[in-house]
Amino acid sequence: MSRRPFTPKVVAANDLFDGEAVWLSADDSWTRQISEAELIEDEAIAEDRLLHAVGQPHIIVGPYLADAKSTPEGPAPVHFREAFRTRGPSNYAHGKQEASPATKPSQL
C-alpha cells in the first residue's frame, strides 16, 4: 500500500475564548489571518508543530493540520472548509463577514 505524498500544511484551531478560527505562526503566536500562518512543508515538522499546539489547551481548542498552499501573500487555504473558516462565523454578519461584499444585501 503506497502512502500519499505529504502536502504543505498549516496548524489550524479555534480560539478558546471567542471561537474564532486561528492559525499557528512561525513565532508560536496564534493569528486570525491564515496568510500569517507558518506554512509547513515537512511532515515531521508538521507533526511536531501540531503537538506544540495540542499542548496549549488554555489558549486554543481543536488543533489540526490543514492543507494549504504558498501564495505571494502567504499561506492560503486549499479546501473549501478552510476558505470558509477564514471568513468567520456564518450565523450572523459581523467582524470579517461584515467587511465582505458577499454578505451585503444587493442594491436594487
Q: What is the mean pLDDT of residues 14-43?
A: 96
DSSP character at residue 11: E
Question: What string of DSSP letters covers 33-79?
Answer: -GGGSPPB--HHHHHHHHHHHHT-TTTEEEEEEEEEEEETTEEEE-S
Distance CA 98, CA 96 (A): 6
pLDDT of residue 85: 87
Could you read off the pLDDT of 11-21 as tens digits, one per residue? 999 999 988 99
pTM: 0.80
Q: Which of 21, 2, 1 lies closest to 11, judged by CA?
A: 21
The single-letter code of the amino acid at 101 is P
